[in-house]
Structure 1
Amino acid sequence: MSNAHETWSAAWEAMEQGDVRLAYDLFLRSANEGNADAQVAIGYAIEHGDFHWLDPADADLWYQRAAEQNNMCALYNIGLNKIQRGELVDAFAVMKRAYMAGEQDALVHLLELFRYSGLPAGDDVFFKAKLRTALRRRDVSDALVTRGRALLSATDSGLQAP
């Protein structure tokens, strides 16, 4: 096991014990050693207020460092942030990378982007088929299963976006 991974594990233990300052120091050490999971953890903790003393804009910087290593969680979080900011073309590109890196939940967002953003629907048949498979295999997180099924139902019935 690498030193960066051991430090990352110790950081999670500190988080679970409520010692966020120690957790930050350990995550930072691991992240600076190139651990993409630690980089994502810092971004996530900044974004969700655990590391409240840091600039919220730094979350994207940490996600970007991990995304450079093709980390699916980093790519997914960057995609979600781009959707929230209305950067839909960029969000689509990043969500597609997240899916290709293994993030099944990205399929729901990709189809939503096709359906509601006016993006050309070139790959929507491919992503619909992949989402059907992911739902059948239970590869999509519980929080997105209902949205995914509703999206497929609406697109299969030919309903138009509101």
Structure 2
Amino acid sequence: MSCAFFLSPLHTPAFAAEGPIQSYQSALTAYENGNIANAFIFAKLAGAGGDADAQTLVGHILQKGELGDPDYNQAVKWYLKAAMQDNTDAMVALGQMGLLSQGGLSVSDGRNWLEKAAKLGRTDAMRALSDMYHLGKGTPPDPAKRRSWLFKAANQGDMLAMRKLGDLDFEDSPKNALVWYEKAAQLGDPESAYFAGVMYAENFAIKPDAKKSADWLRLAALAGHPAAQADYGLMVYQGNGTERSVKDAVIWFKKSALGGDPEGRFLYAFTLAKGEGVKQSFEDAYYWLLRADEDSGATGIDAYDRDRAELKKRLEDNISPDVLARARKRAMSDKLLGNTPKP
């Protein structure tokens, strides 16, 4: 790779005076500002001086092809320089490249680098190893090792590992699954908070608890989880486990609808059609109903599918053809363009 046309910064007195640490900081600043060419020059200079972080950045730019075509062989060389200095970012990168058989690395090489990173405390490497033993990638599937690596990561506070342990236990031991989901949720994982909320609401061998369900669903909803926004909105609408407020429920339904959740879109359509907590609009109600149909079609949940079909029929039977046509045109246009109405 020729970098001749990027060499002008090397001739400036300020650059010539920089040491490896300063060069790496310059590289990082340039990279964060989108100036990949200068970032590459600064990082190579610092990397040549032995800076492991700079070596890793050079490897990253080469691996991702951010200055042209990816150069996996050169990326591996730079990552190896950093990994030999115990840089765990480089180790994880080599592990990922090995799993993809890039740069002359084998899957076995990838596993070895991930194990090195895991021993130095990288929980993402532990999760990657767990996935290897789950999928049988370069090794026979091993459920015990799969769980063991997740457990190690979870014990170091990795919320994604906690969620995966919850997923593993969900079918056979719902109570254990709930423990893991709640631990992950407490660390801020919205998906786990959603699962915990649903488990307290439904019969998953867990004693139903509307208050706990509402609390966990609210946490996930506040984090922007569209399905949680729909479910929490419904609890607010019903006053189930939380204070009843139709107006607040509509706010959650709208957030969920804008986030693309089919149930949220139906619930928002329902309130728009009734004019509950929001100005009545049959056109908007029909529009959101069409978007809900587009998202999921029949769900297999009899009551939900029946309610949605009933609302759609009532709107089609009672709204003028012009209004229906406008809603259909909006829905079709937004579907084709991938648009979502603004809040």
Could you tell me the TM-score, scaled by structure 2's length?
Answer: 0.39
Distance 1:148 1:88 in 2: 26
Change (3 A) 1:151 1:109: farther
The alignment status of 1:106 with 2:125, answered yes or no, reads yes
Change (3 A) 1:131 1:55: closer
The alignment status of 1:153 with 2:172, answered yes or no, reads no
Query: Would you say how many aligned residue pairs link Structure 1 and Structure 2?
Result: 149
The alignment status of 1:129 with 2:151, answered yes or no, reads yes
1:89–1:119 Cα contact (<8 Å) kept: no
1:66-85 matches, within 5 Å, as 66-85=82-101
SS at match of 1:50: coil
Change (3 A) 1:82 1:155: farther
Residue 127 of structure 1: how far off its partner (Å) = 2.0
Distance 1:13 1:153 in 2: 40
Change (3 A) 1:54 1:107: closer
1:112–1:151 Cα contact (<8 Å) kept: no
What whole-Å deviation, never above 9, does each CA across 1:92-115 have from its counterpart, x for those lacking one? 211110111231101111111122
Match of 2:78 in 1: 62
1:71–1:101 Cα contact (<8 Å) kept: no
Residue 157 of structure 1: how far off its partner (Å) = 6.0
Of the three residues 14, 24, 31, the one matched with 1:8 is 24
1:4–1:31 Cα contact (<8 Å) kept: yes
Match of 2:107 in 1: 88
Distance 1:124 1:16 in 2: 36
Change (3 A) 1:120 1:5: same
Change (3 A) 1:109 1:54: closer
Residue 150 of structure 1: how far off its partner (Å) = 3.2
Residue 125 of structure 1: how far off its partner (Å) = 5.5
Q: Which amino acid aligns with 2:153?
A: L
Q: Which amino acid aligns with 1:55?
A: D
Distance 1:116 1:25 in 2: 39
Aligned-pair RMSD on alpha carbons? 2.8
Query: Relative contact order (C-alpha < 8 Å, sep 6+): which is higher?
Result: 1
Between 74-83 and 85-94, the greater mean CA deviation after superposition = 85-94
Match of 2:250 in 1: none
Residue 124 of structure 1: how far off its partner (Å) = 4.8
SS at match of 1:105: helix
Change (3 A) 1:5 1:77: same
Distance 2:153 2:73 in 1: 32
What whole-Å deviation, never above 9, does each CA across 1:68-123 have from its counterpart, x for those lacking one? 11110000000011112293332221111011123110111111112221447475
Residue 28 of structure 1: how far off its partner (Å) = 0.7
- In our comparison, the structure showing a higher alpha carbon Rg is 2
Identity of aligned pairs, percent?
Answer: 22
User: Please, which runs of 5 or more residues in structure 1 have no aligned partner?
Assistant: none
The alignment status of 1:30 with 2:46, answered yes or no, reads yes
